Amino acid sequence: MRLFFVGVGGVSMSSLALLALNDGHIVSGYDANKVKLDNVETTDIIDFNDLDKIDTVVYSSAFNLDFPLLKQALTRKKRMFVRGDFLGFISQQYEKVIAVAGAHGKSTVTAMIYNILKVAGKNPTLHIGAFLKDCNKNYRFGDKEFFVTEACEFHDNFLFLKPYLGIITNIEPEHLDYFKNFFNVKNSFKKFENNCQLCVKRTSLTYQKLKLDRMNRLTFSVFEGKKKIVSLHLKVLGRFNADDALYAIEVGRKLNIPIWLIKLGLESFEGIQKRFEIVKSIFSARVVLDYAHHPKEIEKVVESSNLFDGKKICVFQPHTYSRTKFFLTEFVDVLNKFDEVFLFKTFPARENPQPEVEEKLLCEISKTKHCVLFYDEMALTEQLKKYGQNDNIFFIGAGNLPEILQQRKIIWR
């Protein structure tokens, strides 16, 4: 097929574009931002002539069908795939699809499962909505036996998948701009479960003795009941990684992978970017990036921050106005658990500006502690320079602030 991706810069869309290219399709795409993908022609200019060269359009759920390129593609009767539909199409080529769904943790669990299969010599293919730290890629090419993929519930995209093995890490009220209420969220996850031949929804495994060892590794023992299964020394920080590892172990056992290979896969796992990731910076303080954009995810950052001594400073960039409105009280409660809080302008994603929403968040936080809303990254940077080497700065959110700071050479990996 001659494919044209609308929104090709998206983390999942770019991965799918490269997977399609690897499968022999001719791939090009559009994104509002300049995007560079190996061997993929991309543009940030809307040009209907691009549609003359292709027969199929793949578009992100962030776009409505009245978007000019999509509207024109429909008029020209091009074959159309929404992102989730195309992911389902790609997945059909593989013998066993392993799909990880859930409100939180799915990227990390997906990457852990991939690494276990890789270490076990299975040569899996990977599609993930994040970038692996060891290679800076959101995909990996393998053979046609195992396809390990993140399965996002937004717009019911995960219902296009028919997994051999599905994983549901947790279910929370999320994406309520689409689902409207929690009942609809739970109903959608039930449909996903029904699409799976096997489904891991919970685990009987637990962990004990969680701590950092002398090499700054997350160390704990895994038990099934009173029986010790394995001891682990992970390279990644953050208590949530212990929870995620339990699901990865459960999947490994379902696939009959020996526990020593599961252990090797988890202990060699380098992590994914922006998941309690320590980065270098111009600041004296320790700097941690985390993708948390839901109150429950931020709570996990708070828990993990207790691994460090010193003051905890949060810089939170809200992701979509609708999420902030739905969870305003919860955001205020969890952000107030940091010693100091700063806000950066909302990343709107698919939504129109609603500045009154972030101003309301600022107002509510300011009732209990001093808080400043920044619209300029350089002003924020000057504020953060005052913190010392015993302090910890957490950049939290699913927006573009880390990328802005990287471009400015304020933070780097």
In this structure, which amino acid lies at residue 237? L
- pLDDT one-digit tens code per residue, 79-133: 999 999 999 999 999 999 999 999 999 999 999 999 999 999 999 999 999 999 9
Confidence of residue 239 (pLDDT cuts 50, 70, 90): confident
Res. 395: pLDDT tops 80: yes
Strands 286-290 and 277-281: antiparallel
pLDDT for residue 337 is more than 90: yes
The 10s digit of each residue's pLDDT in 67-80 is: 999 999 999 999 99
* Cα separation values, 332 from 276, 297, 327, 368, Å: 21, 14, 9, 10
Is the separation of the CB atoms in 318 and 343 below 8 Å? yes
Domain 2-83 has CATH 3.40.50.720: yes
**Cα-Cα-Cα-Cα dihedral of 221, 222, 227, 229, to 10°?**
-100
pLDDT at 159: 97
pLDDT band for position 261 (cuts 50, 70, 90):
very high
Question: pTM for the whole thing?
Answer: 0.93
Q: What is the DSSP string of 157-176?
A: GGGG---SEEEE----S--H
Task: List Cβ neighbours of 410 (8 Å cut-off, separation of 6 or more).
Answer: 281, 282, 377, 381
Write down the architecture of domain 94-267 according to CATH: 3-Layer(aba) Sandwich (3.40)
In this prediction, residue 387 has a pLDDT band, given cuts at 50, 70 and 90, of very high
- What was the pLDDT predicted at 408? 96
For residue 4, what pLDDT band results from cuts at 50, 70 and 90? very high
Going from N- to C-terminal start, the domains of the chain cover 2-83, 94-267, 277-412
The per-residue pLDDT for range 277-330, each reduced to its tens digit, is 999 999 999 999 999 999 999 999 999 998 899 999 999 999 999 999 999 999
Confidence of residue 339 (pLDDT cuts 50, 70, 90): very high
User: What's the rounded mean pLDDT across residues 51-62?
Assistant: 93
Decide which of 3.30.360.10, 3.90.190.20, 3.40.50.9100, 3.30.450.30 is the CATH code for 277-412: 3.90.190.20
Q: What is the pLDDT of residue 217?
A: 82
Q: What is the pLDDT of residues 124-181, one digit of tens each?
A: 999 999 999 999 999 999 999 999 999 999 999 999 999 999 999 999 999 888 899 9
Same fold, 2-83 and 277-412: no
Task: Report pLDDT for 349.
Answer: 87
CA separation, residue 193 to residues 35, 162, 189, 411 (Å): 35, 10, 6, 41
- In the predicted model, what is the mean pLDDT of the chain? 95
d(CA 69, CA 50): 9
pLDDT tens by residue, 187-207? 999 999 999 999 999 899 999
Q: In what order do the strands lie in the sheet with 56-59?
A: 41-43, 26-30, 2-6, 56-59, 79-82
Q: What is the pLDDT of residue 215?
A: 76
- Position 223 scores a pLDDT of 97
Helix axes 259-267, 106-119, angle to 10 degrees: 120
What mean pLDDT comes out for the span 333-338?
97
Q: Which helix (H) or strand (E) holds 16?
A: helix 11-22
Binned at pLDDT 50, 70 and 90, residue 238 comes out as confident
